[in-house]
Structure 1
Amino acid sequence: MDGLLINTEDIYTIVTNEVLAEYGKGTLTWDLKIQLQGLPGAQAARKVLDYFQLPLTMEEFESKVIELQYKKWPTCTFLPGALELIQYLHTKKIPIALCTSSAKHKFQGKTDHLRHGFDLFDVIITGDDPRIPQGRGKPFPDIWQLGLKELNAKLEASIHPTECIIFEDGLPGVTSAKAAGAYVIWIPHPEALEFLGNTDAVLDGKGELLGSLTHFDKEKFGI
């Protein structure tokens, strides 16, 4: 969701930089940012605290960023091509699940004003779902496996992972999508590209890299 469907990755960066500035700790740059994308909130926060040696407890840091985030969530918008793709897949009755590392309360804060898009998903799994074992967030495949299980149960279907496309923007998400056995459409943030290394090697023939969701070729996949 974040950075793939809506522009909340940019908001995360802005908020983190505001907290870092308060302690004279510089700015969050993409060489570190790519390590945070797709991680459960607590893991990402711990990386920031350790990297910048912030004089805060996890609870203090989370409190500061959450207060700033909730002021900004109502301003987030769909990224180019995202709403159109969701609507298209829904119209074509193609099963779609949203699997986000965001906790449920953050998901709601980010999407309450965007329900016209997010209400079209057949299944929504958030990162704090108790069925995901502790420590098994992305890059592990558990969240995708749960999303597919719920799709099959709700639709009384038997969709196999190899029949699925997973859309991702972050490196941990791409790793988890490959581990789940799906084909990956990787759409990284433009500013992240120079830090991703050999993207072909990362995908390993199990997906493709695009510059935007607007470039997704539906005909190629028969949809």
Structure 2
Amino acid sequence: DGKVVEAALASSSVWPSFQRKVSRPEIADFLGLIPHERRILSDDPRMRNANGKKRPGKPAPDIFLTTLDVINASRPADDKILPKECLVFEDSVPGTEAARRAGMRVVWVPHPELAVEWAGRDHEVLAGRTNLLPIGDEHLLGELGDGWGEKIDSLEAFNYAKYDIEVRERN
């Protein structure tokens, strides 16, 4: 329907580690598309609650919900994005689970070694039902085979059309 895709970054990394990870030119170019205020890292002050206590990390949904709050803060009150309208790209198992706990769809892009480690259990990862670290909100997890998660081998394999995303060249 011609809407712009709102992009953000939610990473469990802390700032110094994140800077090392994104030092490659192609990654820096990509991140240039995401405004700085929409980059939420685990040591970001926005990852603290009203009492100043650090919010839990993945597999808890907090980092994704905080990131969505940041996006929605810049949108009109009658045009807020809902968690079910979000698509998360995640490389970790706890992150995939966090996305599902947040009520978001997820594309899991694991490192090849991680994919081998979880071979045969992809469906559990995509539903967020790995039981790696139960945190008491398991009722928020997805169901096996519910279609809200998919695994791809690389971001180059992402099917934009499947999610009704039309990519236009930047001017």
| TM-score of the aligned structures, taking structure 2 as reference length | 0.70
Corresponding position of 2:70 = 150
Q: Which has the larger radius of gyration?
A: 1
Secondary structure at 1:131 match in 2: helix
Aligned pairs for 1:1-223 (under 5 A) are 93-112=4-23, 114=25, 115-122=28-35, 123-133=38-48, 134=54, 136-156=56-76, 157-196=79-118, 197-203=120-126, 204=144, 205=146, 206-223=148-165
Secondary structure at 1:93 match in 2: coil
Any stretches of 5+ residues in structure 2 without a counterpart? Answer: 49-53, 127-143, 166-171
For 2:47, give the aligned amino acid: I
Q: 1:155 to 1:113 in 2, by over 3 A?
A: farther
| TM-score of the aligned structures, taking structure 1 as reference length | 0.54
- Distance in structure 2 (CA, Å) of the matches to 1:106 and 1:184: 24
- Distance in structure 2 (CA, Å) of the matches to 1:202 and 1:160: 23
For 2:124, give the aligned amino acid: A
For 1:222, give the aligned amino acid: D
Q: Once superposed, which parts of structure 1, at least 4 consecutive aligned residues long, lie more than 3 Å away?
A: 112-115
Shift of 1:101: 0.9
Q: Percentage identity across aligned positions?
A: 39
RMSD over aligned CA atoms reads 1.9
Preserved contact between residue 88 and residue 104 of structure 2 (Cα < 8 Å)? yes
Greater percentage in helix: 1
For 2:6, give the aligned amino acid: P
Looking at both structures, which has the greater relative contact order when contacts are Cα pairs under 8 Å and sequence separation is at least 6?
1
Any stretches of 5+ residues in structure 1 without a counterpart? Answer: 1-91
Shift of 1:198: 1.2
Superposed CA offset, 1:168-219 (max 9, x none): 1110001101001111101111122222141113322221111111111101
